Structure 1
Amino acid sequence: MPLLWLGLLLAATLGMEQLEGVLRLIEPDSREVIYRRDTFLALLVQHVMVVLVASLLAVAIGVGAAIAVTRPAGRDFRPLVGQLASIGQTFPPVAVLALAVPVLGFGTLPIIMALLLYGLLPIVRNTLAGIEGIDPAVHEAARGMGMTGVQVLRQVELPLAAPVILAGIRTSVTINIATAAIGATVGASNLGDPIISGIVNGNTAYVVQGAVLIGLLAISVDSLFERFMPRLAPR
């Protein structure tokens, strides 16, 4: 199934010109119905790179923070970490962009910051749920075998919590693929470009092109997670 969605994504990315007749039905009065300011392949690559960088940062920070507050020395900070992660997702990405642009300037950095904050909550929550959901008897057995705290984390807690953590990462990445489109409003070139251009110029065909490619990308990535998560999770 992932190959099917990836094939459709690639076909739509490289063969958008072949759909001009269909798009002309959507915008019969427009002189131009195919977005041509940049190639769709370049926009797709830039979109994927932005989401990838933001997601890697979110995973590193989210998983790291959740692990830290499940250790004895960090338990007092658990409510704070949960609240900060919740605020990050409830704070509108557009507002993050508005605040980040004066500091970081126009381009890719503001949208990476917005996606990072927006993608933390599911990762933090799932990591906490995965680690705290482990049977206390398992911890006692590990300590009884003479394992250190680091060994318990690496060899017991993280492997057992992996399916739940990966589910949170899957949710975070999928959400960010769609959210990344707003980066086009601050000069970050990605698949949001045709959508914003279509809205500004009243060209629905442009909007459809960007939306279809983003949708296919989100489905492709989600199907890849669905396919490979069982292999990543320990038996």
Structure 2
Amino acid sequence: MTDSKLSYIDTGKGKETLLFLHGFCGSHEYWSDIIAGLKEEYRVIAVDLRGHGASEEIGESFSIEDMAAVIASFLEELEIGQVYMFGHSLGGYITLAFAERFPGKLSGFSLVHSTAFPDDETGKAGRLKSVEKIESEGIPAFIDGLIPKLFANSDDPNIEHTKEIGYKTSEIGAIGSLHAMRNRIDRNHVLKDTKLPVLLVAGEKDKVIPVEKTFSVKGSHINEVILKGSGHMGMLEAPGRLIEEIIRFVEKN
């Protein structure tokens, strides 16, 4: 734990530091295969977001911008100047907010199965239904309904372990994150205006965030990758390909 109350792992060493932010109801464990494939060449850090994994809850009400500020404080505590930041889903929303407010702390950034668009009205209503389900039935029942939808194949062997990761999410952390995601703003201008290199990663069979929602802005600074056959969990469904693309992105820049 750091003063910013985040649990994390910090492994490997190299000329670049790569920071990984997991998605909703996940933890640093989402990135285990990716970390194993990168730690020989880079310093790799993966955090548990507030109220997720082993990280503490910090109040019931917080925004995506608050979550980005916590990451900035975390990097200051570790005395890290710049990182390449990779954000999965919710972690991507935080990455965009971070890139908008703290661009000098980044060497580049990536959205992995994420989007710069805000929730539409259907999405906002869905967030409130999720809050109601957690409040009435608890985290385990919510996770059991959520996780299978994240994978391209309903019999994916990673589903049960991913559920076990999700069960560790606190109710306050999950509900606070749902409200934060529901209230987030459109950040396509960040993708368009940034001077940093960007990697956008989409899953060909992602039922949560379709390819076109990830590839929302074109530009010479933007690199697009589609993970064939993958759903919303490319770090578990196609880790080898994702590792290759991360290395290509970092080495290119």
Of Structure 1 and Structure 2, the greater strand share is in 2
Q: What is the TM-score when the length of structure 2 is the normalising length?
A: 0.24
The structure number with the bigger radius of gyration is: 1
Q: Which has the higher contact order (CA 8 A, sep 6+)?
A: 1
Of Structure 1 and Structure 2, the greater helix share is in 1
